[in-house]
Structures are given as C-alpha cells and as structure tokens.
Amino acid sequence: MTTLTRRSLLAATLASPALVFLNTPAAAREPEIFAKGGVAINATDPVAYFTQNGPVPGAATHSVSWKGADWHFADADSAARFENMPMDFAPQFGGYCAFAASRGYLAPTIPEAWTVHNGQLFLNANLRARELWLADMEANIAKGRENWPGILG
C-alpha cells in the first residue's frame, strides 16, 4: 500500500511541470527563405525588380538553388547574375513580409507589393501592408533587422 505524505505529494507536484516540458517537442524553425513548395518568392524573378522595375514571373528552366530554395528567373542572364551575387538581389527578411518582420512575425508575400530602397528589395504580404511599410520605412527596417532572424523560431 502506498501512502502519500506531504513530502511525496510536493515532490510529485514540482516534478510535473518539468516532465511536461521534457515531453514537449521543440518548435520547428521556419525556413530562412519564403518558398511555397520549395520555390522562393512565388517563382518571381528577384533580379527583375532591379532591372525591369517590377515583378516578372520566373521559369523553372532558369533556376538557381540557394539557401534551401529554388529561385526562378525570367532568363539565363538574370539567373547568372543572381548566382554570382545572390545577396545583391535576394529580398530582405528572406522574402517574407517586411512589414510583418518589423512587427515581429512572419507572413507570406505577393510579387506586386514590393519596394526597392537603398539597393535592397523588400516584399510585403499585400498592398495595404506595403502602405504601412512605406509610412515609416526607416523605422520599419530597423525594427525588422532587430527581429530578424529570431522570428524564424
């Protein structure tokens, strides 16, 4: 027969939270690059934001693998430029929504909600998020940099 004493009850109570913590799986880290189905930034050519002043659909026939994602390009020249200098063309915050990053969370992006500022590409979840982003861009960039890459998990 087991007799519960105050001491054994207290020990069991104190051990319970530790057991729950040990049995909880670690949260999975989000990928560094926003990529649906392994394809970065909605298969949009990141170089085109700089060379054609806006989003241009990329093609799987012109792709480069970088940071765990496949990046699609409109042509071989854009793919080669990216492959030689990916940091010059890749969007900030891994292609996740820059406004969301400034607020401490991740959100997907759409190709039409974009900004090139000081030679860097920033994408946003939608046109409203882009408006909010532009309203105080310098402060939003600073906040996003403070949060990045910690918000990946």
The identity of residue 97, as a single letter, is: C
**pLDDT at residue number 28:** 82
Average pLDDT over residues 116-133: 98
pTM (2 d.p.): 0.83
Is the pLDDT at 7 greater than 70? The verdict is: no
Tens digits of residue pLDDT in 67-121: 999 999 999 999 999 999 999 999 999 999 999 999 999 999 999 999 999 999 9
What is the sign of the dihedral through the CA atoms of 73, 75, 81 and 84? positive
Structure token digits, residue 150: 């910690």
Tens digits of residue pLDDT in 51-75: 999 999 999 999 999 999 999 999 9
**pLDDT at residue number 6:** 52
Q: Cβ of 48: how many Cβ atoms within 10 Å? A: 20
Average pLDDT over residues 128-150: 98
- Residue scoring higher pLDDT (89 or 9): 89
